[in-house]
Structure 1
Amino acid sequence: MKKLLIIEDDPQWAAVLERYALEAGCTARTVVAAGQAMAMIDEWRPDGLILDMLLAGETGMALLNELQSHEDLARLPVVVCSNVALDLDQLRPFGVRAVLDKARMTPDDVRAALSVLGEEAE
């Protein structure tokens, strides 16, 4: 079973993402801040991340930069889920495999993004 860490500070979105992760056969944990994410990554060693870019305090981009500074975490697959319009091609160097637009995403979009994480973690 794949382990998925969700970094999302909105409890409703976190619950939605966690539900999809569970439906996809993943074990999921949720944290609300980038600092908490690093501690959970070190402790739990997830196979992939779902990351909100607009977090209270440090941004998702700060976390992506932090991951890249660690050789063992630089290849950790990430799905970005945000209200901000983002270009996947610009985020690929940071380990981002898919971008979900919260305003437009469908259940099928989330499932497809999670399948990309599953492929990466194998």
Structure 2
Amino acid sequence: MKKLLIVEDDKNWADILCSYAAAVGADTRVVISGGQAMEMIDDWQPDAIVLDMLLAGETAVALLNELRSHADLARLPVAVCSNSDINLEDLRPFGVTALLDKASMRPDEARAVFSEVLDGAE
């Protein structure tokens, strides 16, 4: 079973994302900060990450930069799920492979993206 780490500080959204991940057969864990994400990555070694861009007290860009600074994590697939006005092309240099807009995403779209990032995991 593939492992999907969800970095989301809103419990309601985390629950929704976990249900979508479960529908594609992923084992999930949720953390609420970039620091917790790095600890969970070290301990649990997920196959992919779903990341909210607007985390309380810190930015997801800091986590993306941290991931890319480690050779063993630089190719970890990341999907961003956010309400902010972001362009996927702007995030590709950070290793982001997919973008979900919380305001408009449909369950089938989220499940497809989760499957895609998990399939892209080495």
- Aligned match of 2:69: 69
Say what the alpha-carbon RMSD is for the aligned residues. Answer: 0.8
Supply the AA of the counterpart residue of 1:103: A
In structure 2, list runs of 5 or more residues that go unmatched: none
1:60 maps onto 2:60 in alignment? yes
1:80-106 per-position Cα deviation (integer Å, ceiling 9, x unaligned): 000001111111121211100000000
Runs of 4+ off more than 6 Å: none
Deviation at 1:118, TM superposition (A): 2.0
Corresponding residue for 1:79?
79
Question: What is the alpha-carbon distance in structure 1 between the residues aligned to residue 66 and residue 58 of structure 2?
Answer: 11
Aligned to 1:113: 113
* 1:109 Cα deviation from its structure 2 partner: 1.3
Contact 2:34 2:60 in 1 (8 A): yes
Per-residue displacement from partner, 1:7-53 (whole Å, max 9, x unpaired)?
00000000000011111100000000110000000110000000000
The number of residue pairs the alignment matches comes to: 122
TM-score scaled to structure 2, two decimals? 0.97
Unaligned runs of 5+ in 1: none
Residue pair 2:5, 2:49 contacting (<8 A) in 1 also: yes
